[in-house]
């Protein structure tokens, strides 16, 4: 094998299905021995939220945002056929039947495979998310850090 190839994915979406696609590709790329980065921005940051409520001081609007957004990957909705939360329940049942991995499992696998999970700090500020509310072992960066990876990327996706 020649030098290590790179895959970068921007996860902008906060939809369960889209995040699943992103994480499946990321884990697949890691199996291809790629160096993989998932850059989470805007709604994609919700995939990195811890499930339990964390007490942090925030402004009124930021507080509203945190209350309205899904707390963690498992709480995210579907991009299609969400049916006010029924859709995710149904798809999780079907996934179980087909032995497909759930999004939280895929995220755990990504961390095991040393995939670099990055949270965009600028959008964290916009949505009022604090580091304490996000998973441990992730990195914090901005557009320049993403571009540094992406310009050497063999696969670059925006989901």
Partner 1 sequence: MNIANVLDAKGLACPMPVVRARKTIKEMETGEILEIQTTDKGSVADMSAWAKSGGHEMVDQKEEAGVFTFWIKKG
Nearest Cα to 120, choosing from 155, 100, 147? Answer: 147
Distance CA 115, CA 8 (A): 10
Options 55, 57, 59, 99; binder of partner 1; rule CB under 8 A:
99
CB count in 10 Å sphere of residue 78? 18
- 100 is an interface residue for partner 1 by CB under 8 A: yes
Give helix then strand counts, H and E, for the chain. 6, 5
Which DSSP symbol is given to 44?
G
Nearer to partner 1, 89 or 99 (CB): 99
Nearer to partner 1, 13 or 27 (CB): 27
- 31 is an interface residue for partner 1 by CB under 8 A: yes
- 157 is an interface residue for partner 1 by CB under 8 A: no
Nearer to partner 1, 11 or 134 (CB): 11
73 Cβ contact partners less than 8 Å away, ≥ 6 residues apart: 16, 19, 46, 47, 48, 49, 103, 104, 107
Options 56, 109, 126, 155; binder of partner 1; rule CB under 8 A:
109
Nearer to partner 1, 62 or 108 (CB): 108
**Does residue 75 contact residue 103 with C-beta atoms inside 8 Å?**
no
Nearer to partner 1, 32 or 140 (CB): 32
Stretch of 51-59, 72-80, 99-107, 115-123 lying at the interface with partner 1 (CB under 8 A): 99-107
Distance CA 29, CA 38 (A): 11
Options 52, 55, 94, 98; binder of partner 1; rule CB under 8 A:
98
Contacting residues toward partner 1, per CB under 8 A? 1, 24, 27-28, 30-33, 98-101, 109, 113
């Amino acid at each position: 094998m020649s030098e290590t190839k790179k895959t970068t994915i921007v996860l902008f979406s906060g939809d369960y299905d889209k995040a699943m696609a992103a994480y499946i590709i990321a884990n697949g790329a890691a199996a291809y021995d790629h160096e993989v980065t998932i850059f989470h921005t805007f709604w994609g940051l919700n995939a990195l939220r811890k499930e339990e409520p964390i007490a942090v001081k925030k402004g009124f609007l930021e507080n509203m945002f945190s209350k309205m957004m899904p707390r963690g990957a498992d709480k995210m909705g579907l991009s299609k056929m969400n049916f006010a939360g029924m859709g995710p329940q149904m798809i999780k049942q079907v996934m179980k039947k087909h032995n497909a991995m759930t999004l939280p499992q895929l995220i755990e696998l990504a961390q095991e495979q040393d995939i670099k999970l990055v949270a965009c700090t600028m959008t964290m500020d916009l949505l009022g998310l604090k580091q304490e509310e996000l998973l441990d072992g992730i990195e914090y960066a901005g557009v320049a850090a993403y571009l540094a990876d992406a310009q050497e990327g063999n696969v670059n996706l925006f989901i």
